[in-house]
């Protein structure tokens, strides 16, 4: 029962001391029907911890109240040595307890107690006392060496007459294995069975037939408890004997376990054939080949259902083993989802080890096969894995895992707030208060005759890496595949940012950051280059400006064309639109290119008088660019011939450059007071404001990419990303150009691996932001899109999907 499950938590708050070696023998006075025993050398401190521990003091549950009420009178007693508390009837309204401690003349001073009564009784050949202290009734019996206290007269008489005492070689083995320097908890099979309903919430059946006795030695820390011990199997077959001769392995399910999990239960096996040999069934069942290529099976409990996980040794072999196992019904983020031909095929195979639902669907994530009865849970797991939103790598999980052995036969982990909420079933009997990332873990490592047990309960005050990392907050579907990168666009009505994106049908969408489609507008062709945000009327109401094949378009936030736009050209525009705002005063210049010709238009669509540069000597190969260095404005126009024109606002040559360049695909940038770009042969070109040219060999590959601003230089060279001189080694992949976002005092550098479909975001010190990489298949945009202080990121997901992340 759930109130008994808390029993272990209560018993964690016990001080440690040393057992005494003399004629006093606590084990001789344990009743035969005892279900749980606590042995401690500081019983008074045990009671004090139950009353005053921070967690217990803030939490309310029936067993705590019951123990305090029944044992509160013991604060009047002077416990000086090893004491045992034996308990039976754990699931009843009133506990039956027996306390054994060493006889001491100073154990109780009745004169100092006001509310008391003492009556001597002789019965069944025994002399003992019936006592009432502070309205608590109990019996007290003394032997030559021991004092026995119980709320059951039957227990007193049995002990006095040396009958019905615990006589178990298995218990003796457990008792001898206990650490004499620590408080120990002993639980027998009857007690463990009463925990079955709780642990079935993990889909763990083991406590129905777990072990004759287990012992746990406790190590109390400020905000955590560690428990280490053994289970003694005895002669009868039980759950743990399933693992005889099966070597434990590393449990890896955390790599696909979503961070918002409730619990997981996992068991490992070096060989599934060896595991099956230990089955209770005399007839061995046939099983799918995938199990010979697996090393772990697990159940993950989530708020909306559960997942069954098989951890395959090698992913390609696993895929081959699963050929014909199911029919592909859809693809999500590049991962096929299948419907099984024979749902529930694993249920009977694992009947001794795990409680399974009928899982109809599955998908393969790396070397994990994820089964569920709900495809949405498989999609969630895929998304969380791709977004690094699993518990693997989270500091609070690593902290608890570091206290356990690296290899397990069985591992159970629960997120305590969510787990207790799930088992309460809206019951008001318990009010347990856990901190956000509190975890409990219980590990079993099987040997031939016994099993090592390791447990940890963590309720730390502060947890690192909680929920401040990047997390997906929304996804939006378009009617056709996404054709352009998505852009944030200021909504002057809400002071938030909406999303602009175009699909392959040339339809432009404006979508709120909550997913509402404000409007759709069909354009004549694809948008070329970036979408620019402008404020033509200087009143805070923003418009968007962009170019298509033949048009310069300006639309208001309702999707309406702003007059006199669009501007139509008879010949195609050969470079994307550039927008200049020299003095940041919203006096915009729209700059467009047709081969050698440059057009500069004002906010009303008219040509700017006084801009004299109209024709280059050869075709213009990059969109004209405005760069401000200090207080000076420069317009850079690069030609196919290698000529670089550095112009004034009026279009005259402002900086004469006497060299021609072999241009790479990178633009010109202003950096550290100079103009910079690269040549295909890996040279970094620097042009000063006086026109002096220098080159620096950076040993870059032909396909390198460069981005820069006034004080930050970023380049990608094969799989190395350099940010301000600091090198980040990436996996080899197919990467987008790096992007730089300066927002307030922070600078972000983003890059996307299109092959692995991962988005990386770094700060200006080349440190990867928490929660990255995340899933994405395009360049990104970053801005504060809502009213909180955290930034948002938008990126293409699946073909017709836009994803919104919160950084």
DSSP 278-309: T-S-SSPPP--GGGGGEEEEEEEEETTEEEEE
CATH topology for 471-806 is Methylamine Dehydrogenase; Chain H (2.130.10)
For 473, the 3-state DSSP assignment is strand
DSSP label at residue 585: S
Q: What's the sign of the alpha-carbon dihedral 783, 788, 794, 800?
A: negative
Model pLDDT, residue 713: 97
Q: What is the Cα Rg of the chain in Å?
A: 36
Question: Alpha carbon of 465 to those of 193, 436, 472: distances in Å?
Answer: 37, 12, 16
Q: Where in the chain is the domain with CATH 2.130.10.10?
A: 471-806
Residue ranges of the chain with pLDDT lower than 70?
Answer: 1-22, 46-66, 196-197, 220-223, 234-235, 280-284, 423-433, 460-468
Contact 343, 358 (CB under 8 A): yes
Q: Half-sphere exposure of residue 287, counting CA atoms within 13 Å on the CB side?
A: 19
| Contact indicator for 469, 455 with CB cutoff of 8 Å | no
Sign of torsion over alpha carbons 293, 296, 297, 301? negative
pLDDT of residue 630: 94
User: What is the rounded distance in angstroms from the CA atom of residue 214 to the CA atom of residue 188?
Assistant: 6
Q: 459: part of which helix (H) or strand (E)?
A: none
Q: Report CA dihedral (53, 58, 64, 67) to the nearest 10 degrees.
A: 50
- If DSSP states are collapsed to H, E and C, what string results for 80-116? CCCEEEEEECCCCCCCEEEEEEECCCCCECHHHCCCE
Write down the pLDDT at residue 332: 94
In terms of Cα–Cα distance, which of 284, 306, 406, 319 is closest to 356? 306
Sequence-ordered list of residues with C-beta below 8 angstroms from that of 401, at least 6 positions apart, any chain: 254, 441
> How far is 673 from 693, CA to CA, in rounded Å?
13
What's the pTM value of the predicted model, to 2 decimals? 0.81
> How far is Cα 553 from Cα 546, in angstroms, rounded to an integer?
5
- Two tokens, residue 348: 């009977």
Rounded to the nearest 5°, which phi and psi values hold at 805? -115, 150
Q: How far is CA 249 from CA 321, 406, 445, in A?
A: 22, 8, 9
Structural contact between residues 478 and 801, judged by C-beta atoms closer than 8 angstroms: yes
Interhelix angle 43-52/62-71, rounded to 10 degrees, is 140
Cis peptide before 443 (omega within 30 of 0): no
Residue 775, beta-bridge partner list: 758
Q: What is the DSSP letter of 368?
A: E
Say how far apart CA 648 and CA 600 lie, in whole Å.
13
Q: How far apart are CA 376 and CA 1, in angstroms?
A: 32
Structure tokens at 342: 């024979």
Q: β-pairing, 224-232 with 450-458? A: antiparallel
Q: CB-hemisphere CA count at 13 Å for 91? A: 11
Task: Please give the structure tokens belonging to residue 768.
Answer: 């990867």
Q: What's the farthest any 2 CA atoms get from each other in the chain?
A: 122
d(CA 403, CA 399): 7
Residue 307: strand pairing partners: 300
Q: Are 707 and 739 within 8 A, CB to CB?
A: yes
pLDDT value at residue 71: 83
How far apart CA 98 and CA 71 sit, in angstroms, is 11
CA 598 to mean position of chain CA atoms: 52
Contacts of 580 (CB under 8 A, 6+ apart): 588, 589, 591, 626, 635
pLDDT of residue 429: 45
State the residue for tokens 């460069």.
Answer: 706
Q: What is the DSSP letter of 564?
A: T
Q: How distant is the alpha carbon of residue 501 from its chain centre?
A: 30
**Euclidean distance between CA atoms 588 and 552, whole angstroms:** 14
Number of Cβ atoms within 10 Å of the Cβ of 282: 5
Reduced to 3 states (helix: H, G, I; strand: E, B; else coil), residue 696 is: strand
* Calpha distance 602→580 (Å, rounded): 10
Contact 758, 774 (CB under 8 A): yes
3-state secondary structure of 673: coil
Whole-number Å distance between alpha carbons of 722 and 739: 12
Pair of tokens at residue 119? 């009556």
> Exposure string (b/e) for 415-447, b if CB count within 10 Å is 16 or more?
bbbbbbeebeeeeeebebbbbebbbbbbbbbbe
Are the CB atoms for 118 and 133 separated by under 8 Å?
no
* Residue 618 pLDDT: 97
* 748 vs 779: CA distance, rounded Å: 13
Encode 702-741: b = buried (16+ Cβ within 10 Å), e = exposed.
eebbbbbeeebbbbbbeeebbbeeeebebeeeebbbbbbb
Q: pLDDT value at position 466?
A: 45
Task: Quote helix, strand, coil % in the chain, to nearest 5.
Answer: 15, 40, 45
- The two three-digit tokens of residue 264, written as one number: 């997981």
Residues 6+ apart with CB under 8 A from 83: 26, 39, 40, 41, 43, 99, 100, 101, 102
């Amino acid at each position: 029962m759930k109130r008994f499950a808390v029993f272990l938590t209560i018993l964690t708050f016990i001080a440690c001391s040393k057992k005494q070696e003399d004629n006093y023998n606590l084990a001789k006075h344990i009743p035969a029907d005892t279900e749980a025993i606590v042995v401690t050398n500081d019983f008074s401190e045990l009671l004090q911890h139950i009353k005053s521990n921070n967690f217990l003091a803030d939490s309310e549950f029936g067993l705590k109240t019951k123990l305090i009420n029944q044992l509160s009178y013991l604060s009047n007693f002077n416990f000086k040595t090893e004491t045992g508390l034996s308990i039976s009837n754990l699931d009843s309204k009133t506990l039956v307890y027996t306390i054994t401690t060493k006889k001491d003349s100073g154990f109780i001073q009745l004169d100092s107690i006001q509310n008391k009564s003492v009556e001597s009784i002789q019965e069944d050949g025994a002399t003992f006392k019936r006592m009432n202290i502070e309205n608590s009734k109990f019996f007290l019996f003394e032997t030559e060496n021991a004092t026995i206290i119980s709320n059951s007269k039957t227990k007193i008489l049995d002990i006095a007459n040396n009958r019905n005492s615990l006589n178990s070689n298995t218990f003796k083995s457990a008792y001898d294995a206990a650490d004499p320097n620590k408080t120990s908890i002993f639980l027998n099979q009857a007690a463990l069975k009463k925990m079955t309903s709780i642990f079935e919430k993990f889909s763990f059946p083991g406590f129905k037939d777990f072990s004759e006795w287990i012992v746990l030695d406790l190590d109390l820390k400020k905000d955590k408890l560690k428990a280490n011990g053994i289970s003694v199997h005895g002669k009868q077959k039980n759950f743990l004997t399933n693992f005889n001769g099966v070597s434990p392995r590393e449990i890896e399910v955390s790599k696909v376990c979503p961070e918002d999990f409730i619990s997981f239960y996992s068991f490992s096996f070096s060989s599934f054939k060896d595991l099956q040999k230990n089955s209770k069934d005399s007839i061995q069942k046939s099983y799918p080949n995938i199990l010979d290529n697996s090393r772990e099976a697990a159940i993950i409990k989530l708020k909306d259902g559960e997942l069954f996980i098989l951890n395959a040794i090698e992913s390609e072999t696993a895929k081959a083993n699963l050929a014909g196992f199911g029919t592909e019904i859809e693809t999500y983020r590049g991962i096929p989802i299948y419907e099984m031909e024979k749902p529930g095929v694993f249920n009977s195979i694992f009947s001794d080890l795990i409680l399974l639902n009928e899982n109809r669907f599955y998908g393969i994530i790396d070397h994990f096969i994820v089964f569920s009865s709900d495809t949405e849970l498989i999609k969630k797991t895929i998304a969380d894995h791709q977004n690094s939103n699993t518990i693997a790598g989270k500091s609070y999980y690593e902290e608890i895992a570091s206290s356990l052995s690296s290899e397990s036969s069985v591992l159970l982990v629960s997120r305590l707030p969510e787990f207790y909420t799930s088992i309460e079933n809206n019951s008001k009997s318990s009010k347990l208060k856990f901190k956000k990332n509190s975890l409990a873990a219980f590990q079993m490592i099987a040997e031939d005759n016994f099993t090592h047990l390791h447990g940890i309960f963590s309720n730390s005050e502060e947890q690192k890496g909680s929920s401040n990392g990047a997390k997906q907050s929304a996804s939006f579907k378009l009617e056709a595949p996404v054709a352009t990168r998505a852009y944030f666009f200021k909504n002057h009505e809400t002071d938030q940012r909406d999303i602009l994106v175009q699909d392959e049908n040339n339809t432009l969408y404006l979508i709120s950051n909550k997913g509402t489609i404000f409007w759709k507008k069909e354009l004549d062709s694809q948008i070329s280059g970036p979408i620019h945000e402008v404020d033509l009327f200087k009143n805070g109401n923003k418009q968007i400006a962009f170019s298509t094949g033949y048009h310069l378009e300006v639309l208001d936030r309702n999707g309406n064309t702003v007059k006199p736009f669009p501007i139509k050209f008879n010949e195609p525009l050969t470079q994307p639109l550039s927008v200049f705002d020299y003095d940041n005063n919203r006096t915009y210049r729209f700059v467009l290119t047709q081969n050698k010709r440059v057009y500069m238009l004002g906010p009303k669509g008219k040509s700017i008088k006084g801009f004299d540069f109209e024709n280059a000597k050869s075709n213009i190969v990059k969109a004209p660019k405005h760069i401000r260095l200090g207080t000076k404005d420069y317009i850079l126009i690069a030609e196919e011939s290698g000529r670089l024109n550095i112009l004034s606002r009026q279009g005259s040559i402002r900086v004469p450059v006497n060299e021609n360049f072999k241009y790479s695909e990178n633009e010109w940038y202003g950096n550290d007071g100079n103009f910079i770009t690269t040549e295909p042969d890996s040279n970094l070109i620097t042009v000063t404001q006086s026109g002096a040219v220098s080159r620096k060999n950076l040993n870059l590959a032909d396909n390198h990419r460069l981005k820069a601003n006034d004080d930050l230089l970023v380049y990608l060279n094969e799989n190395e990303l350099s940010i301000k001189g600091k090198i980040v080694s990436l996996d080899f992949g197919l990467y987008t150009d790096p992007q730089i976002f300066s927002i307030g005092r922070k600078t972000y550098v983003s890059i996307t691996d299109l092959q692995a479909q991962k988005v990386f975001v770094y700060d200006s010190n080349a440190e990867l932001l928490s929660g990255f990489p995340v899933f994405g298949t395009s360049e990104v945009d970053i801005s504060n899109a809502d009213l909180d202080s955290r930034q948002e990121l938008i990126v293409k997901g699946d073909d017709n999907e836009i994803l919104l992340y919160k950084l």
